[in-house]
Amino acid sequence: MPHKDPKLKSFIYVHIVKTGGTSFRKNIIEKFYQDNFVYDSTFKANKSYHKGKPWDVHYECKRYPKGYEDSNVILGHFFPSKYTHLNRPFVTLLRDPVKRLISQYNYLKNVHAQDMNIRQYADKYPNHMTYVTGGDLDIFKFVGILEEYEKTISIMQSLFDLNGKVDLKKHRVSKKKKEKISKDDIEYIKSKNLEDYKLYNEAVKRLSKYR
Check pLDDT > 70 for residue 45.
Answer: no
38-42, 68-72, 99-103, 159-163: which has the minimum mean pLDDT? 38-42
Residue 180: pLDDT above 80? yes
Q: Report the range of poorest mean pLDDT among 21-35, 103-117, 143-157.
A: 103-117
Q: Indicate the pTM of the whole model.
A: 0.90
Banded model confidence at residue 58, pLDDT cuts 50, 70, 90: low
**Mean pLDDT, residues 32-41 taken together:** 93
Please tell me which residue, 111 or 34, carries the higher pLDDT value: 34
Mean pLDDT score of the chain, rounded to an integer? 88
For residues 23 and 169, the answer to whether their CB atoms sit within 8 Å is yes
What would the mean pLDDT of 146-175 be, rounded to a whole number? 87
Q: How far is the CA of 107 from the CAs of 17, 18, 134, in angstroms?
A: 10, 9, 24
2 or 44, greater pLDDT:
2
Q: Which domains does the chain have, with CATH numbers?
A: 11-96+127-172+196-207 (3.40.50)
What is the spatial distance between Cα 130 and Cα 141, in angstroms, rounded to a whole number?
A: 17
